[in-house]
Amino acid sequence: MPIRPIVITGNPVLHTRAQEVTEFNQELRDLVSDMFETMDEAPGVGLAAPQVGVGLRVFVYDWDAEDGTPQRGVVINPTLELSETPTGEADWESESEGCLSVPGERFPLRRAERAVLQGVDLEQNPVHIEAEGWFARIFQHEFDHLDGTLYVDRLAEPHKSDVAGIIKERGWGVPDQSWLPGQDKLEG
Protein backbone atom coordinates (compact mmCIF):
# COMPACT_ATOMS: atom_id res chain seq x y z
CA MET A 1 0.00 0.00 0.00
CA PRO A 2 2.07 2.87 -1.25
CA ILE A 3 0.02 5.90 -0.20
CA ARG A 4 -1.19 5.55 3.36
CA PRO A 5 -4.08 7.35 5.05
CA ILE A 6 -3.00 10.27 7.22
CA VAL A 7 -4.56 10.24 10.65
CA ILE A 8 -6.17 13.39 12.00
CA THR A 9 -5.78 14.98 15.43
CA GLY A 10 -7.60 12.92 18.04
CA ASN A 11 -5.99 9.63 17.06
CA PRO A 12 -4.00 8.50 20.12
CA VAL A 13 -0.93 7.68 18.00
CA LEU A 14 -0.54 11.43 17.36
CA HIS A 15 -0.65 12.22 21.05
CA THR A 16 1.70 9.54 22.37
CA ARG A 17 5.49 9.45 22.41
CA ALA A 18 6.68 7.26 19.54
CA GLN A 19 9.06 4.36 20.17
CA GLU A 20 12.69 4.07 19.09
CA VAL A 21 13.28 1.97 15.98
CA THR A 22 15.20 -1.17 16.90
CA GLU A 23 14.80 -3.27 13.77
CA PHE A 24 16.09 -1.97 10.46
CA ASN A 25 14.19 -4.47 8.35
CA GLN A 26 12.08 -4.62 5.19
CA GLU A 27 9.02 -3.44 7.10
CA LEU A 28 10.86 -0.24 8.01
CA ARG A 29 12.04 0.25 4.41
CA ASP A 30 8.44 -0.19 3.19
CA LEU A 31 7.21 2.28 5.79
CA VAL A 32 9.73 4.93 4.73
CA SER A 33 9.04 4.38 1.04
CA ASP A 34 5.30 4.75 1.66
CA MET A 35 5.90 7.84 3.78
CA PHE A 36 7.77 9.54 0.93
CA GLU A 37 4.95 8.74 -1.48
CA THR A 38 2.29 9.88 0.95
CA MET A 39 4.14 13.13 1.68
CA ASP A 40 4.56 13.84 -2.04
CA GLU A 41 0.92 13.14 -2.82
CA ALA A 42 -0.45 15.18 0.11
CA PRO A 43 1.60 17.33 -0.66
CA GLY A 44 3.68 18.18 2.37
CA VAL A 45 7.22 19.21 3.26
CA GLY A 46 7.46 16.64 6.04
CA LEU A 47 5.69 13.60 7.41
CA ALA A 48 6.24 11.69 10.64
CA ALA A 49 5.45 7.98 11.08
CA PRO A 50 2.74 8.61 13.72
CA GLN A 51 0.85 10.54 11.02
CA VAL A 52 0.39 7.30 9.11
CA GLY A 53 -0.56 5.52 12.30
CA VAL A 54 2.86 4.03 13.10
CA GLY A 55 4.28 4.93 16.51
CA LEU A 56 7.96 4.88 15.55
CA ARG A 57 10.61 7.62 15.71
CA VAL A 58 10.93 8.21 11.96
CA PHE A 59 10.24 11.22 9.77
CA VAL A 60 10.78 12.23 6.17
CA TYR A 61 11.18 15.73 4.75
CA ASP A 62 11.37 17.41 1.38
CA TRP A 63 12.29 21.05 1.19
CA ASP A 64 14.09 23.30 -1.28
CA ALA A 65 16.46 25.51 0.66
CA GLU A 66 16.41 29.28 0.13
CA ASP A 67 19.37 28.90 -2.25
CA GLY A 68 17.43 26.26 -4.25
CA THR A 69 19.28 23.22 -2.93
CA PRO A 70 16.83 20.32 -2.61
CA GLN A 71 16.78 18.74 0.83
CA ARG A 72 15.04 15.38 0.92
CA GLY A 73 15.60 12.56 3.32
CA VAL A 74 14.64 10.37 6.21
CA VAL A 75 15.83 10.40 9.79
CA ILE A 76 15.38 7.62 12.31
CA ASN A 77 15.70 7.94 16.10
CA PRO A 78 16.61 11.62 15.83
CA THR A 79 17.81 14.13 18.35
CA LEU A 80 17.29 17.85 17.83
CA GLU A 81 19.30 20.72 19.26
CA LEU A 82 17.76 24.16 18.99
CA SER A 83 18.75 27.76 19.32
CA GLU A 84 16.56 29.78 21.66
CA THR A 85 12.91 30.18 20.64
CA PRO A 86 12.16 33.87 20.22
CA THR A 87 9.56 35.40 22.50
CA GLY A 88 6.75 37.71 21.47
CA GLU A 89 3.90 37.35 19.05
CA ALA A 90 4.24 35.10 16.00
CA ASP A 91 3.74 36.70 12.60
CA TRP A 92 0.90 35.43 10.35
CA GLU A 93 2.83 36.18 7.16
CA SER A 94 6.15 34.59 7.91
CA GLU A 95 5.56 32.17 10.80
CA SER A 96 2.35 30.32 9.97
CA GLU A 97 2.64 26.57 9.71
CA GLY A 98 0.23 23.80 8.84
CA CYS A 99 -0.01 20.10 9.55
CA LEU A 100 -1.36 17.23 7.46
CA SER A 101 -2.98 15.91 10.64
CA VAL A 102 -4.90 19.18 11.12
CA PRO A 103 -5.62 19.53 7.40
CA GLY A 104 -6.42 22.80 5.70
CA GLU A 105 -5.49 25.05 8.64
CA ARG A 106 -2.55 27.33 9.29
CA PHE A 107 -1.60 29.23 12.43
CA PRO A 108 1.42 31.30 13.42
CA LEU A 109 3.89 29.88 15.87
CA ARG A 110 7.30 30.96 17.09
CA ARG A 111 10.11 28.51 16.44
CA ALA A 112 13.85 28.45 16.94
CA GLU A 113 15.79 29.89 14.01
CA ARG A 114 18.45 27.18 14.02
CA ALA A 115 18.30 23.42 14.54
CA VAL A 116 20.83 20.60 14.46
CA LEU A 117 19.27 17.28 13.55
CA GLN A 118 21.11 14.04 14.21
CA GLY A 119 20.04 10.44 13.84
CA VAL A 120 20.50 7.65 11.34
CA ASP A 121 19.15 6.73 7.92
CA LEU A 122 17.80 3.37 6.70
CA GLU A 123 21.33 1.97 6.39
CA GLN A 124 22.07 3.21 9.92
CA ASN A 125 24.52 5.74 8.55
CA PRO A 126 24.70 8.90 10.63
CA VAL A 127 22.56 11.88 9.68
CA HIS A 128 23.78 15.31 10.76
CA ILE A 129 22.05 18.38 9.34
CA GLU A 130 22.37 21.99 10.42
CA ALA A 131 19.25 23.84 9.38
CA GLU A 132 18.06 27.42 9.52
CA GLY A 133 14.81 29.24 9.00
CA TRP A 134 11.97 27.27 7.45
CA PHE A 135 14.05 24.10 7.19
CA ALA A 136 14.74 24.30 10.93
CA ARG A 137 11.01 24.84 11.46
CA ILE A 138 10.18 21.65 9.53
CA PHE A 139 12.54 19.67 11.76
CA GLN A 140 10.96 21.12 14.90
CA HIS A 141 7.46 20.34 13.63
CA GLU A 142 8.29 16.75 12.65
CA PHE A 143 10.37 16.07 15.74
CA ASP A 144 7.45 17.23 17.87
CA HIS A 145 5.29 14.58 16.20
CA LEU A 146 7.62 11.90 17.58
CA ASP A 147 6.98 13.19 21.08
CA GLY A 148 3.22 13.22 20.62
CA THR A 149 3.04 17.00 20.21
CA LEU A 150 1.21 18.78 17.40
CA TYR A 151 2.04 22.36 16.47
CA VAL A 152 -1.50 23.31 17.52
CA ASP A 153 -0.63 22.16 21.05
CA ARG A 154 1.98 24.93 21.14
CA LEU A 155 -0.18 27.80 19.91
CA ALA A 156 -0.67 30.95 21.93
CA GLU A 157 -4.08 32.52 22.43
CA PRO A 158 -6.25 33.40 20.61
CA HIS A 159 -5.04 30.77 18.12
CA LYS A 160 -5.26 27.98 20.67
CA SER A 161 -8.98 28.59 21.22
CA ASP A 162 -9.60 29.12 17.50
CA VAL A 163 -8.10 25.76 16.61
CA ALA A 164 -10.00 24.02 19.42
CA GLY A 165 -13.20 25.42 17.89
CA ILE A 166 -12.24 24.20 14.41
CA ILE A 167 -11.39 20.72 15.68
CA LYS A 168 -14.80 20.48 17.36
CA GLU A 169 -16.66 21.90 14.38
CA ARG A 170 -15.09 19.42 11.96
CA GLY A 171 -15.79 16.43 14.17
CA TRP A 172 -12.07 15.86 14.74
CA GLY A 173 -10.52 15.15 18.12
CA VAL A 174 -11.86 11.60 18.01
CA PRO A 175 -9.72 8.48 17.48
CA ASP A 176 -10.81 7.30 14.04
CA GLN A 177 -10.51 10.20 11.58
CA SER A 178 -8.14 10.05 8.62
CA TRP A 179 -7.83 11.24 5.02
CA LEU A 180 -6.21 9.72 1.95
CA PRO A 181 -3.93 11.96 -0.14
CA GLY A 182 -4.84 11.83 -3.83
CA GLN A 183 -8.38 10.84 -3.01
CA ASP A 184 -9.71 13.22 -0.38
CA LYS A 185 -9.39 16.88 -1.27
CA LEU A 186 -7.69 18.33 1.76
CA GLU A 187 -4.41 20.03 2.28
CA GLY A 188 -2.18 20.73 5.22
Which of residues 76 and 145 has its CB atom nearest to Zn ion in the complex? 145
Q: Where does this chain touch Zn ion (CB under 5 A) — which range of 30-38, 53-61, 97-105, 129-137?
A: 97-105
Residues binding Zn ion: what is the number (CB under 5 A)?
Answer: 1
Active site (annotated) includes residue 142: yes
What one-character-per-residue DSSP string does 16-71 give?
Answer: SPPBPP---SHHHHHHHHHHHHHHHHTT-SEEEGGGGT--BSEEEEEEE-TTS-EE
Residues 6+ apart with CB under 8 A from 88: 110
- Nearest residue (CB) to Zn ion, 24 versus 82: 82
Q: In angstroms, give the least distance from the CB of 7 to Zn ion.
A: 11
Q: Which residues face 85 on adjacent strands?
A: none
Q: Tell me how far apart the alpha carbons of residues 101 and 48 are, in angstroms, rounded to a whole number.
A: 10
CA-CA distance, 21 to 58, in Å (whole number)? 8
Q: How far apart are CA 116 and CA 80, in angstroms?
A: 6
Rounded to a whole number of angstroms, the minimum distance from the CB of residue 124 to Zn ion is: 26
Q: Using the rule CB under 5 A, is 7 a contact of Zn ion?
A: no
> How far is it, in rounded angstroms, from Cα 13 to Cα 4?
15
Nearest to 85 by CA among 117, 45, 116, 115: 115
16-24, 94-102, 105-113, 120-128 -> range binding Zn ion (CB under 5 A): 94-102
Does 39 help bind Zn ion (rule: CB under 5 A)?
no
Which residue of the set 37, 97, 105, 142 is catalytic? Answer: 142
Task: Measure the CA–CA gap between 87 and 172, rounded to whole angstroms.
Answer: 30
CB of 42 to Zn ion, least distance (A): 10
Is 99 a binding residue for Zn ion by CB under 5 A? The answer is yes
Fill in the per-residue mask, 121 to 150: x = in contact with Zn ion (CB under 5 A), - = not in contact: ------------------------------
Q: Which residue is nearest to Zn ion (CB)?
A: 99
Interface with Zn ion (CB under 5 A): 99
